[in-house]
Amino acid sequence: MSSQNYSYNPSGQQASAPVTAESGRSVEYTCGDCDASVQLKRGEPIRCRNCGHRVLYKQRTNRMVQFEAR
């Protein structure tokens, strides 16, 4: 299989913040039902503001991943 390494993004452009950091930061999720994006802060109920669905998906990291094209 191809080798890969999860390297740190040196340009550092909008690397997503860790979820547990400062309580003021909000994290974006995607609703499992209506596909809307949901901003959640720490301690908020896990619920879509648009449709009330209780399943939210975490989004993929913005960090760069390096692959060998082999």
Partner 1 sequence: MPKIPTQEELEQRKRVQINAETVTNAQSNDFPHHWPGEDHSWNLDYFKSQFRVKFEKNERYDAEFSLIGLDTSVANAFRRILIAEIPTLAIETVFINQNTSIIADEVLAHRMGLVPLTASRKGLDWMSWYREPTEEDRGSGQPMDYNACQLRLEAACTWLDDDAINRANRGETDPNKLYKNHSIYAKDLVWVPSGQQNDKFEEPLRPTNPDILLVKMRPGQKIELFVQAIKGIGQDHAKFSPVATASYRLMPTIDITKPILGQDAKKFARCFPKGVIELEKVTEEEASEKKELEGKEGELKAVVKNPMRDTVSRECLRHPEFKDKVKLGRVRDHFIFKVESTGQWDSDLLFLESVKLLKVKCERVKRGLDAMMG
Residues at the site binding partner 1, with contacts judged by CB under 8 A: 1-2, 4, 9, 35, 60, 62-70
CA dist., res. 34 & res. 64, Å (int): 28
User: How many Å separate Cα 26 from the centre of its chain?
Assistant: 10
Least Å distance, CB 29 to partner 1, is: 14
Least Å distance, CB 2 to partner 1, is: 5
CB closer to partner 1 out of 22 and 68: 68
Residue 51, phi then psi, degrees to nearest 5: -125, -5
CB closer to partner 1 out of 2 and 20: 2
Residue 54, phi then psi, degrees to nearest 5: -100, 5
